[in-house]
């Protein structure tokens, strides 16, 4: 009787161990593979001229700082802001950043990175960040950044011109 009890326990333990070590074929795909979405965002951004229709810096509307500027997101990573009398150049990229500590809590771990090499006093310095993408369509790119230092929230909206 004891032998059958121990044998039964051994069989149950074996099945328990086997069920925890089995894998599902669906696990081969990375759950955070954002490459298609990144390519789509890059394609959208490079397809035309854009304007900033809203820029709110920690609750203060600073949209007018960029009035008259048209933004071009080059396929080579060059970002150009041009108001016909002044041209400011920088870089941009869209990256997968699942380790970002400033994510807004969205399910997407995609960052829209903007960098202008300008003095701290330039309004374009305010755009320098690894923005989280809130949403995007063929005609809009909506971004957000939650500051790690003061907890302020910045929002930025580009619309196709």
Task: Map the chain to HEC letters.
Answer: CHHHHHHHHHHHHHHHHHHHHCCCHHHHCCCCCCHHHHHHHHHHHCCCEEEEEEEEECCEECHHHHCCCEEEECCCCEEEEECCCCEEEEEEEEEECCCCCCCCCCCCCEEEEEEECCCCCCHHHHHCEEEEEEEECCCEEEEEEECCCCCCEEEEEEEEC
Give 92-105 pLDDT, tens digit per residue: 999 997 654 544 44
CATH of the domain at 79: 2.40.128
Q: Do the domain assignments include residue 4? A: no
Q: Do the domain assignments include residue 21? A: no
Q: Do the domain assignments include residue 108? A: yes
Q: Do the domain assignments include residue 106? A: yes
Confidence of residue 20 (pLDDT cuts 50, 70, 90): very low
How many structural domains compose the chain? 1
CB neighbours of 41 closer than 8 A, spacing ≥ 6? 94, 110, 112, 133, 136, 141
Q: Do the domain assignments include residue 19? A: no
Residue 49 has pLDDT above 60, yes or no: yes
Q: Among 48-62, 108-122, 142-156, where is mean pLDDT lowest?
A: 142-156
Q: Do the domain assignments include residue 25? A: no
Q: Do the domain assignments include residue 73? A: yes
Confidence of residue 26 (pLDDT cuts 50, 70, 90): very low
Q: Which residue segment(s) compose the domain that 114 sits in? A: 34-160
Most confidently predicted of 9-18, 22-31, 80-89: 80-89
Q: Do the domain assignments include residue 125? A: yes
């Amino acid at each position: 009787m004891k032998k059958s009890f121990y044998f039964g326990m051994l069989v149950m333990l074996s099945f328990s161990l086997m069920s925890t070590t089995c894998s599902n074929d669906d696990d081969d795909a990375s759950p955070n593979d954002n490459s298609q979405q990144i390519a789509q965002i890059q394609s959208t951004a490079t397809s035309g001229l854009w304007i900033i229709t809203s820029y709110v810096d920690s609750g203060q509307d600073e949209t007018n700082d960029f009035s008259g500027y048209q933004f071009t997101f080059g396929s080579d990573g060059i970002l150009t802001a041009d108001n016909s009398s002044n041209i400011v150049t920088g870089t941009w990229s869209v990256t997968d950043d699942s380790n970002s500590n400033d994510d807004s809590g969205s399910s997407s771990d995609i960052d829209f990175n903007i960098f202008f090499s300008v003095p701290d006093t330039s309004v374009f310095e305010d755009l320098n960040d690894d923005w989280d993408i809130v949403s995007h369509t063929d005609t809009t790119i909506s971004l957000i950044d939650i500051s790690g230092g003061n907890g302020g929230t910045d929002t930025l909206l580009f619309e196709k011109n």
